[in-house]
Structure 1
Amino acid sequence: MEAGGGGGARHIVLVHGLGHGAWCWYRVVPMLRAAGHRVTALDMAASGAHPARMDEVRSLEDYSRPLLDAVAASPPGQRLVLVGHSLGGLCVALAVERFPRKVAAAVFLAASMPCVSKHMSMFAMLNECFRRSPPDFFVDSEHIVVNTIQGPRTALVLGPKYLAEKLYDQSPQEDLTLATMLVRPCIQFLDDPIMKDDTLLTDGSYGSVKRVFMIAKADSSSDEEMQRWMIDLSPGVEVEEIAGADHMVMCSKPRELCDILLTIASNYE
């Protein structure tokens, strides 16, 4: 999903979260386009309308390939605003580390925001988030076994009750209904070596790019305390707050989200 803007427009790239796709940004894309910006909402591999099968996606890098390719292909001199929602924050972090000079700002929307630390890999951060969550966090979601060329792997199927209670509890009913029709099974890549590499993100690349974390104040999936814990791991990160936003901020508070993104697009060159 791509929308063009006029001359001098900022290019904003939107990355969805676990099990979702470019479709979840449908409220925000036309708002940003109306403000004159170019907008690209991407499907990560085996997500949304992306043609890959889940068993073909071997790693976080494979999953993030649509984003990595899009950033690599951006014209010289054009610096992007990357927006990662939920698990999409890991994809954005990987892209920023690879192409820091192509990114004006990285925005983490109620997202997994890894830090530059030799003691906190992406895996360690997610593991701590899981530890802080209640045992029944995933409600009616189910784990299934997927046969891949690397052997059997576990995938997660997001349940309708989980979607309603944890992700879309402040969003319009239409968006919840859309999600129940479109979400796909997903792998979190917890066994991927890159996830356990605590030297993956560096101060000179990932740490050199402006980062903004947007707190969803009414998030039932990742409460404010957990979001602020991730922020505290990365001193200097700019913080924005969106009151009344559930985890799916782009559905529950699209106008407020758009206004902040427009400010970020104009402030970072």
Structure 2
Amino acid sequence: MGGSKHIVLVHGACLGGWSWFKVATPLRAAGYRVDTPDLAASGVDPRPLREVPTFRDYTAPLLDLLAALPAGDRVVLVGHSLGGVSVALAAELFPDKVAAAVFLCAFMPDCAARPSHVLEKFVEGKWLDWMDTEMKPQDAEGKLPTSMLFGPRILREKFFQLCSPEDINLASSLMRVSSMFMEDLAAQQPFTEGGYGSVRRVYVVCSEDYGIVEGFQRWMVENSPVEEVKEIAADHLVMLSRPKDLAQCLADIADKYA
């Protein structure tokens, strides 16, 4: 049973806290305390993307959650996809409040390069055919981050290929315009060994992920070794396609590290 163990599930770009509903429910039933915050301009957060100029602004709801924790409380942070960078930022700022940082088929920064490095390697290496993804500037001056919205084809073929038609329809109706915040992340200093680098990390590889493919996931682990690597035979939206397997995996991690 989860007892007082606290798990925070952090969604990826264009998604929201809603994406965790199939995983949060069994974890709560097993006794874990589970939070699924909406990051800024995501889920039911009312702000449009143009009011979220930086990655720190985007991650602020997660940072506020950690800042509000009582003294001595520590959480297991789980980041999916771009949520991995949000988890890294949270661990950098609140290392004493993070029992473990879990990267679920997620972008995982290191402490040697700027936070944008893994995203740049992913884009430059052409690890993904972006298909019908819409990326466009938000302003003529380029002061705001480039917006991003996944189209129906890339969702169906690269992210949700093992999900039910019902889950694809649900997700398609709840998607919001987001960003990878590449410009802002490229301007930030690397995370530090004393902050993010001091937090224990676990990587959960999704071996049938066609979005962030297994080869790139394992490259990130080689680039910045972790305490433990786990694997689930799942697509990118593992929380929808393999929720029971994922809930058990996260429960095991929480029991070990929290």
TM-score (norm 2): 0.95
Q: Tell me, yes or no, if structure 1 residue 126 matches structure 2 residue 116.
A: no
Aligned amino acid, residue 46 of structure 1: A
Q: Distance in 1 between matches of 2:98 and 2:144?
A: 36
Q: Tell me, yes or no, if structure 1 residue 37 matches structure 2 residue 48.
A: no
Partner residue of 2:249 out of 250, 254, 260: 260
Contact 1:55 1:149 in 2 (8 A): no
Q: Tell me, yes or no, if structure 1 residue 65 matches structure 2 residue 44.
A: no
Aligned amino acid, residue 186 of structure 1: S
CA deviation vs aligned residue, 1:100-144 (integer Å, no higher than 9, x gap): 000101000000000111xx222222111112225x711111123
* Cross-structure match for 1:89: 84
Q: Distance in 2 between matches of 1:123 and 1:153?
A: 13
Q: Distance in 1 between matches of 2:143 and 2:216?
A: 33
Q: Distance in 1 between matches of 2:176 and 2:245?
A: 27
Partner residue of 2:135 out of 132, 137, 143: 143
* Cross-structure match for 1:240: 230
Deviation at 1:45, TM superposition (A): 0.3
Q: Distance in 2 between matches of 1:184 and 1:223?
A: 23
Higher strand content, 1 or 2? 1
Which runs of at least 4 in structure 1 moved beyond 6 Å after TM superposition? none
Identity of counterpart residues, as a percentage? 45
* Cross-structure match for 1:102: 97
RMSD over aligned CA atoms reads 1.8
Deviation at 1:235, TM superposition (A): 2.1
SS at match of 1:95: helix
* Cross-structure match for 1:14: 9
Q: Distance in 1 between matches of 2:124 and 2:163?
A: 27
Greater relative CO, 1 or 2 (CA 8 Å, sep 6+): 2
When residues 69 and 169 of structure 1 are mapped into structure 2, their CA distance, relative to the original with a 3 A threshold, is same
Q: Distance in 2 between matches of 1:157 and 1:132?
A: 21
CA deviation vs aligned residue, 1:200-231 (integer Å, no higher than 9, x gap): 31111211111000000100011111000000
Deviation at 1:195, TM superposition (A): 3.5
SS at match of 2:183: coil
Partner residue of 2:147 out of 150, 155, 159: 155
SS at match of 2:138: strand
Q: Aligned residues, how many?
A: 258
Unaligned runs of 5+ in 1: none
* Cross-structure match for 2:179: 187
* Cross-structure match for 2:156: 164
* Cross-structure match for 1:222: 212
Deviation at 1:39, TM superposition (A): 0.6
Q: Distance in 1 between matches of 2:169 and 2:227?
A: 35
Contact 2:159 2:209 in 1 (8 A): yes
Unaligned runs of 5+ in 2: none
When residues 148 and 107 of structure 1 are mapped into structure 2, their CA distance, relative to the original with a 3 A threshold, is farther
